[in-house]
Structure 1
Amino acid sequence: MSHLTLQPGVTTVVITGAGSGFGLELARLGAKKGLNLVLTDVQQDALDDVVQELRGVRAKVAAVRGDVSRPEDVKALADLCLERFGVPHVVINNAGVAHGGLIWEHSLRDWQWVLGVNLHGVIHGIHTFTPLMLEAARKDPSWQGHIVNVASMAGLLNSPNMGAYNVSKHAVVSLSETLYQDLALVTDQVHASVLCPYFVPTGIHQSHRNRPSELRSEGKPTPSQMIAQAMSTKAVTSGKVTAAETAALVYDAIEKGQFYIYTHPQALGMVQTRLEDVMQGRNPTDPFAGKPEIGEQLRQSLRQAIKG
């Protein structure tokens, strides 16, 4: 089975959430590779900065501000791509946000925001771009395409106090696995991958900065949400694998036709434990079994908070 070869001046890559984190590094590395880039981000100034930087190194780039939770914005992204470069060879559904706290304390607006970006954003990307790619493949037997959806190790695990995020990322893994299988039924020319990063310094712990006003929760964050925010900030900012290294893994996986992309394969031991729980019908294993002091600290903090 042949896979996509990234060709300078030929291959076109669409990247959502291109203003920071993985998206920014994917755009930078794509520019180094001489690829045509079509970018979007919800934050206009960050997007403008990326475009200016890439044009400074003579990259071929087009960009439009967009919120991937809005299908019309993803359609505008596709229209821009078709106008400038034609059907994209690679679509990377990267845009994502994070929100934590005890699962029953998520407001309905919290759910709307997290699922809107993390899940529906990927759905909109697949819905919009896959038919275009399949049509290009039908017209040209040599044409190759690839879709990458950014999930998380949170899509393979269920860390406590991160409910909405876990749900959204599990859904993206399921969506991606199904996309892979569905594509294999109808074509040998378009493939799919899912990226499941663990803790990588990307800025996702600050994603609330771009939360739409109409989806902001009323009232102050709950204690569990503040604890989740603090833990997320510490974990993300202390990550040793960089976003740039992750971008290199993604482009390498595209050319290899590799489906699962991991930044921290050592974390798969926890995934194995979870799957063994499922297979053997065991109750879920304590996620802090390897670091009981962290689990105990979290338990005590939450129980004290609940008591008021």
Structure 2
Amino acid sequence: MDDLLDKVAVVTGAASGIGRGMAEAFVDAGMRVVLSDVEVDALHSTTAELRAAGADVHAVVADVSAPDDVTELAEATLEKYGAVHVLANNAGVYAGSRPSWDSTLDDWEWILGVNLMGVVHGHSVFLPIMIEQGVAAHIVNTASLAAAVGGSSLYGATKSAVLALSETVYLELVGGGFQPRVSVLIPGVVDTNIFDSERNRPNRLSDVGPRPDGWNIEAARKAFALGTSPRVIGEHVVRAIHEERFYVLTHPEWKGHIEHRMRQIINGDNPTQLPPPGR
């Protein structure tokens, strides 16, 4: 997409973190943005801040794991702006224990519902609209380095599925001659509150698996607080949309780790992990 001015973007998980960073970058590109999140107060606060700065934004509360909510999100977008040109399937949560078999079925249902089925619902609802519009459009699916380097259990499983699904949908759209394009965002350590995902966990899925031995949540929070700004990630996404670039790898220092994993697969070697960059 060459020109984003006055185009309409929808961002899920937009109240904070990478979602907010993308929303801010879209606004700066001249877009009108629908911000969606399950966290009501944070969503309205973020929307009010962007609107006070002059942005044309609209808030819709939605749980992406619920298909009816995603349908209502699309309907609200069309009612407000009349079209949708960019969809950022970004909403995500972190859950799971180590070893992975200690995770509960509630852990699995929650993380699959948001991280994977949220993307599925976004595709199912928004892609037909984008195709029918007959103009340039773009979907951005948020995966993770966990999908590319391995070593993560529940979270990695969902993000690996998002990566594989995105690749397939991209090929289907190109092969079918359809206008929309797809990018998959593969971020590393970003300054988000992903480790506080439990604040939005539904009560019906309250059976939480034990944390791994030695797990230090405060250390994890501090490490991520030193990560890349979400706004920088949003700028990566805007460039990828302009370039119609599929893979959006925001932390190139991990390329060697991705290559290490790919070589193991090609060579038929058993999995091993490299230490993080800089260690």
Q: Is TM (by shorter chain) over 0.5? A: yes
The alignment's C-alpha RMSD in Å is 1.8
**Shift of residue 230, structure 1, vs aligned partner:** 5.1
Query: How many Å apart are 1:7 and its aligned residue?
Result: 3.2
Superposed CA deviations along residues 120-156 of structure 1, whole A, max 9, x for unmatched, are: 000000010001111111xxxxx20000000000111
Confirm or deny: 8 A CA contact 1:6 1:35 kept in the other structure.
Answer: no
Q: After superposition, where does 1:78-97 map in structure 2 within 5 Å?
A: 78-97=74-93
Q: CA offset at residue 63 of structure 1?
A: 1.5
Q: Would you say 1:253 and 2:245 are equivalent positions?
A: no
| 3-state SS of paired residue (1:87) | coil
TM-score (norm 1): 0.85
CA contact (8 A) 2:90 2:142 kept: yes
Q: Which runs of 5+ in 1 are unaligned?
A: 138-142, 293-308
User: Which residue of structure 2 aligns with residue 227 of structure 1?
Assistant: 215
Helix, strand or coil at the partner of 2:273: coil
1:236 CA displacement? 1.8
Distance 2:219 2:164 in 1: 26
Cα distance between partner residues in 1 of 2:110 and 2:184: 22
Which residue of the other structure, out of 26, 30, 34, is the alignment partner of 1:38?
Answer: 34
Deviation at 1:189, TM superposition (A): 1.9
Tell me, yes or no, if structure 1 residue 76 matches structure 2 residue 72.
Answer: yes
Question: Partner amino acid for 1:98?
Answer: Y
Distance in 2, matches of 1:68 and 1:48, equals: 17
**2:257 maps to 1:270:** yes
The residue number in structure 1 matching 2:166 is 176
Shift of 1:223: 4.4
2:109 maps to what in 1?
112
Cα offset, 1:283, TM superposition: 0.7
| Number of equivalent positions | 278
Displacement of 1:202 in angstroms is 1.3
- Are 1:145 and 2:137 matched, yes or no? yes
Whether the 8 Å CA contact 1:99–1:229 is kept in 2: the answer is: no
Match of 2:226 among 238, 242, 248: 238
Structure whose alpha-carbon radius of gyration is higher = 1
Q: Which runs of 5+ in 2 are unaligned?
A: none
Give the whole-Å Cα distance in 1 for the aligned partners of 2:257 and 2:117.
27
What letter matches 2:202 in structure 1?
A: P
Q: RCO higher in 1 or 2 (8 Å CA, sep ≥ 6)?
A: 2
Question: Which residue of structure 1 lines up, in the alignment, with residue 266 of structure 2?
Answer: 279
Pair 1:18-2:8 in alignment: no
Structure 2 vs 1, CA of residues 259 and 289 (structure 1 numbering), >3 Å: closer, same or farther? closer
C-alpha displacement at 1:188, in angstroms? 4.9
Q: String of CA shifts for 1:95-127, please: whole Å, max 9, x gaps.
A: 001124221011000001111100000000001
Q: Secondary structure at the match of 1:46?
A: helix
Distance 2:60 2:4 in 1: 24
Q: Which amino acid aligns with 1:88?
A: V
TM-fit CA distance, 1:289: 8.6
* Contact kept in structure 2, 1:101 and 1:227, CA below 8 Å: no
